[in-house]
Amino acid sequence: MKDWEAGIVRQIITEEQLKARVKELGEQITNDFKDDDAEFIVVGILKGSILFMADLIREIKLPLKIDFMEVSSYGDGFETTRDVKIIKDLDYSVRGKNVLIVEDIIDSGLTLKKILQLIGKRGPKNVILCTLLDKVTKREADISIQYTGFEIPNEFVLGYGLDFIQEYRNIPYIGVMDLEKYEKEKK
């Protein structure tokens, strides 16, 4: 049987911690926008945010619509190329709406800064950013994050939507990957 957790050396955020924090974020977002009449649209940044977004929107007790963007700034490597390429743009107009952008992890912030600028030019009422994980120590761009799940150290993490070569997204917790251990276990 294949080891679906090959290379993971430890959990840093458990499944239970994820569920509790997502519930708290949903309640906070609901409270912050319950008296705002503008349409509310949740935009997931594909592919990593999908599990977090699915759980989060179930906890937001507001009428809402969802949409997705897919962007790339990594090419085939682990470091950003600093060139943001839009692979899939929004299907709906955001003009006059409250737009909640949902991201899985923010490190340098360079990609998110470009996304925020792009959406901001489209006339939304508000652009709000919610991230599951924040690597504050890697930040290069000045961006404002309104909702943060967890601040994490500068380690290679995966699970709960975050991947390594498109694998590990279905791991129900956030784990730290040891690439050397992964290579040994995959042989």
Active site residues: 107
What is the rounded CA–CA span in Å between residue 177 and residue 27?
31
Residue position matching structure tokens 């991230």: 131
Residue 183: count of CB within 10 angstroms of its CB: 11
Residue 165: count of CB within 10 angstroms of its CB: 8
Q: Which residues contact 103 (CB under 8 A, 6 or more apart)?
A: 45, 48, 49, 112, 129, 130, 131, 132
Amino acid code (one letter) for 124: P
CB–CB of 160/132 below 8 Å? yes
Residue position matching structure tokens 């995966």: 158
List phi, psi (to 5°) of 120: -60, -30
Closest by alpha carbon to 10, among 183, 185, 184, 173?
173
